[in-house]
Amino acid sequence: MSTSLTSAPPSGLSARLNRMQARIADAHATYAFKVALVTVLSLYAAFLLDLDHTYWALITIPLIVRPDGGSTVWRSTGRLGGTLLGCASGFLLAVLFGQMPETVIIAVAIFIFMVAFFGQMQAGLDVYAYGSAGLVALIIVIDTGPNVDAAFSLALARTTETAIPVIVVFIVMLVVFPRSISGQAADALRTARKATLSLTGRILRGELGPSLGYEPEVLPAISAANTALRALAYERTRRNHLRPRMTAVMNAINRVAIRAETGRFALNHVPDEADDAEIRDARLRLADAIDRLPGDDVGAAEFLAAADEMARVAETVHPRQVLPPAGGDLSDRALRLGAAFYRMRQLALAVEDLMRAEAALVDPSLPYEKMAPMARRYFDPIGALEFAARPTLVFLVLTTVWIATAWPGGQILALIGSAITLIFPSIVPRALRIGGAITMAKGLACGGVFALVLMMLLPNVEGFGALALILGGAVFAIFYVTREPQHLPLAIGSVLAIAVGFQPQNTPSFSPIGLVNTLVTLTLMPVTVVSALTLIFPEDAGWVRRHLRRATDDLLGKAARRELGDNKLLEQFIDVLADLGLSVSPNDPDGVHLRIRARAALIASGEFYHQERLEGGGHLPARLAAYGPRLRSTVLEAAQRRSGPAECVVFGEMRGTLRTVFADSDLDEEARVDALRYTAVGELLAAILSTGQLSRMREAGDAS
């Protein structure tokens, strides 16, 4: 796939220059240098405008800079949009309620709640824009206080301070040895493709039981690829035109993964499927064909040849292969073979689509399926309410303590503690939040040392050049060791300590005592974040189980009622499995059951949409199509069972109706094939219900 990211590979001197530029752009030192340059230029612009709180410009930097251009522009755009929203909102709040302390606190708390709540509707870095709005509004309202006449000037100054680094980031990160995220997107696609096809081959060979291979092996790669593709949309490079084709590859990978998971379920739970010799031979033929698929470094012709081979394999498992003569009896084995062939054909066709999408990625002249990257997030209103309650309550508690005690450091803690509690969980994955807060505390200590050294050195030098050299060197050192995402809290804590503790200004005033007091105050910030995460609606194992169960119920119901399209439903199921499913501990049997339940619901929902397509195809006999509503309601009823398998009379009736339909000698082949497919869907739904995987709780002694 690496060859597909350039339309015409350069040669000679141009190729050597491109490789050298790529190596420089990828170097850790280059990234650290660019962040240091952003810091120095942002500070210089703030000094030119004679802004008195330049540390807001510095605090913005670690929250928006990333090594690649796409993620940086995405973060910066979100920060800029959030800044403008926060500016307008903060100004209005300050003017309307600034002279009424209790009222303005309540008004700001409501605003924080609203941005946190509505931010949970967004996916990826879009949620950061809402957090930024809350931060800027907090800055303006708290700094304005009762001095309403100064509200506009303060709003303008604070907005300028936070907007300056965004503008500088756009200039520096996209001009000085720019690094595209396209390579990261290609790597993520390559990883997802490899993991999906490897999992598919093992499933077909019966080497993988009903374990959780899909979630830990494939889902992280799919999520990483979708995030990278969305970030790539923010780049305006010659490679960006390939993003729609890369998205087509990603969507094809999604379909292969779901088809493989459906096959694994049938292999492990449909009676006699694993032991039938003809089904096993067909599975092995398909597995061998997948093994022969080309790698990611070949041309379009090889991919197209592989697609043609998969099409031929798909024809060998067409359900018509097992159809009895017109008017003949349909045996139990023929029904079992037809259902298995139908699932294998769907998988083979999905792999064929993947190969054709890969060919279109290599050769831009080939057509492709135009689809947007997965961006739809599953919205959980209760979860959003709980998420929004944390920063709201933290703000109310901290401002109450600050006002009641008249503590000089209370303003900083109320402002930054509330803002970090709002923003931090929106940009840090759930599993890393507590550890990230502890890492941020280490960063505060590290930044405090840097700030103390700066205070000792700068009185002995003069001019902005000396400040730029010393401060830029400190920032370079911090970001040289914090390039990876898991180290970002360390960078945030370090820059925060330098910005608030050192507070560089046009007229410097160095106070070691003030620095110590500031650091003591800032050390309470990680404590605040950890306390909020662990005490206010803690997202522990019980929380994950409750929300995973509720999300599964909701999405399964929407699928049965056909309220969402197939792709939208898949997006939301993947979000639920990646967010909540991967948060389940392997040592939590109840959580593991709910994780498997969500995957079974995803398979069942996909079968609902197969039913819908067959019902609308015009060939399915009406006697079978009439079972559709009953099948869906039966699945929904089974999903509300407390535990254990469900009795499903309707599936037996449907099987009998199928035999009656096949006895009709006037039924054409297309109608008989669709009838067999439709019943195959019903058979798989019956198998899902018979396992008890859709029940709300696991049976005693059942490890799913």
Residue 325: predicted pLDDT: 78
Cα angle for residues 302, 304, 309 (degrees, 5° grid): 95
Question: At residue 295, does pLDDT exceed 80?
Answer: yes
Residues, the chain: 704
Q: Confidence band (pLDDT; 50, 70, 90) for 6?
A: very low
**Residue range 443-470: average pLDDT?**
85
Q: What is the DSSP string of 337-381?
A: HHHHHHHHHHHHHHHHHHHHHHHHHH-TTS-----PPP-PPPP-H
pLDDT band (50, 70, 90) for residue 632: very high
Angle of CA points 207, 338, 210, to nearest 5°: 25
- Which tokens hold the place of 94? 């300050």
d(CA 616, CA 644): 34
Query: What mean pLDDT is predicted for residues 364-380?
Result: 81
Main-chain phi, psi angles of 294, to 5 degrees: -70, 160
What amino acid occupies position 529?
V
pLDDT at 536 > cutoff 70: yes
Average pLDDT over residues 41-53: 88
Burial (CB < 10 A; 0-12, 13-18, 19+), residue 11, is exposed
pLDDT computed for residue 228 by the predictor: 86
Examine the pLDDT at 535 and tell me if it is beyond 90: yes
Q: How far apart are CA 6 and CA 355, in angstroms?
A: 19
**Beta-carbon contacts of residue 456 (< 8 Å; ≥ 6 apart):** none
Prediction pTM value: 0.89
Please give the pLDDT value at position 296: 78
Q: How far apart are CA 364 and CA 299, in angstroms?
A: 12
Q: Which of 184, 158, 196 is CA-nearest to residue 51? A: 158
Ranges 16-20, 558-562, 574-578: which has the least confidence: 16-20
- C-alpha span between 12 and 106 (Å, rounded): 66
Nearest by Cα to 498 from 513, 519, 467, 528: 519
Question: What is the average per-residue pLDDT within 221-230?
Answer: 85
* Lookup: tokens for 400: 């109450």
Q: What percent of the chain has pLDDT over 70?
A: 93
Q: Please give the full DSSP string across 16-39, using - where no structure is assigned.
A: HHHHHHHHHHH-HHHHHHHHHHHH
Of 123-132, 231-240, 533-542, give the lowest mean pLDDT range.
231-240
pLDDT value of position 457: 83
Q: 3: pLDDT confidence band, cut at 50, 70 and 90?
A: very low
Q: What is the mean pLDDT of residues 279-305?
A: 92
Of 499, 455, 459, which is closest to residue 475 (Cα–Cα)?
A: 499
Alpha-carbon distances, residue 32 vs 26, 37, 478, 501 (angstroms): 11, 9, 8, 22
* Average pLDDT for 76-99: 91
Average pLDDT of every residue of the chain: 87
If pLDDT is split at 50, 70 and 90, which confidence band does 549 have?
Answer: very high
Q: Which tens digit of pLDDT belongs to each residue from 489-501?
A: 999 999 999 988 8
Q: Which residue has the higher pLDDT, 172 or 699?
A: 172
pLDDT for position 69: 85
- Across residues 671-683, what is the average pLDDT? 90
Mean pLDDT across the stretch 350-367?
A: 93
Residue 463 vs residues 46, 49, 510: alpha-carbon distances, Å: 15, 17, 15
- pLDDT digits 0-9 by tens, 571-625: 899 889 988 998 998 899 999 999 999 999 999 999 999 899 999 888 899 999 9
Query: In the numeric block, which tokens belong to residue 57?
Result: 């410009």
Look up residue 14 and give its DSSP letter: H
Q: Can you give the pLDDT at residue 510?
A: 67
C-alpha torsion 314→318→322→323, nearest 10: -170
**Contact residues for 495 (Cβ-Cβ < 8 A; gap 6+):** 58, 59, 61, 62, 443, 447, 475, 478
524: CB partners within 8 A, 6+ apart: 413, 417
Residue of 702 and 513 predicted with greater confidence: 513
Residue 239's pLDDT is 54
Q: Would you tell me the crossing angle of helices 488-502 and 433-457 to the nearest 10 degrees?
A: 40
Residue 163 has pLDDT above 50, yes or no: yes
> Helix, strand, coil shares of the chain as percentages rounded to 5?
75, 0, 25
pLDDT category of residue 508 using cuts at 50, 70 and 90: low
Residues 199 and 215: their CA atoms lie apart, in Å, by 11
Q: What is the mean pLDDT of residues 375-396?
A: 91
Q: Contact at 8 Å (CB) between 141 and 96?
A: no
DSSP string, 74-117: HHHHHHHHHHHHHHHHHHHHHHHHTT-HHHHHHHHHHHHHHHHH
Q: Residue 587 and residue 152: Cα distance in Å, rounded?
A: 55
Identify the residue with better confidence: 91 or 242.
Answer: 91
Phi-psi region of 429 (alpha: psi -120 to 50; beta: other; left: phi over 0): beta
For residue 2, is pLDDT > 50?
no
CA 270 to chain centre: 33
What pLDDT does residue 7 have? 42
More confident residue, 584 or 18: 584
User: For residue 233, what is the DSSP state?
Assistant: T
CA separation for the pair 10, 377 (Å, rounded):
40
| Contact (Cβ atoms closer than 8 angstroms) between residue 601 and residue 555 | yes
Percent of the chain with pLDDT over 90: 41
CA-based nearest residue to 434, from 387, 493, 497, 489: 489
> What is residue 210's predicted lDDT score, i.e. its pLDDT?
65
Distance between CA 269 and CA 599 in Å, rounded?
A: 14
pLDDT tier at 169, thresholds 50, 70, 90? very high
Is pLDDT of 626 > 60?
yes
Instruction: Find out whether 190 and 250 touch, Cβ atoms under 8 Å.
Output: no
Give the separation between CA 538 and CA 544, rounded to whole angstroms.
10
**So what's the pLDDT on residue 4?**
43
pLDDT value at position 207?
85
pLDDT at 211 (0 to 100): 64
What sign results for the dihedral spanned by CA atoms 638, 572, 113, 398? positive
Q: How far apart are CA 287 and CA 440, in angstroms?
A: 48
Two tokens, residue 272: 């006699």
Note whether 45 and 164 are within 8 A (CB).
yes
Place of tokens 């780049």: 235
- Read off the tokens for 350: 């999905």
The CA-CA-CA angle for residues 64, 69, 72, to 5°, reads: 10
Closest CA to 142 of 156, 160, 129, 155: 155
Q: At what angle do helices 151-175 and 55-64 cross, to 10 degrees?
A: 40
pLDDT digits (tens, 9 = 90+) for 683-701: 899 989 988 999 999 875 5
From first CA to last CA, the distance across the chain in angstroms is 38
CA distance 371 to 565: 13
Q: Mapping DSSP to helix (H, G, I), strand (E, B) and coil, where does residue 530 land?
A: helix
pLDDT at 151 over 60: yes
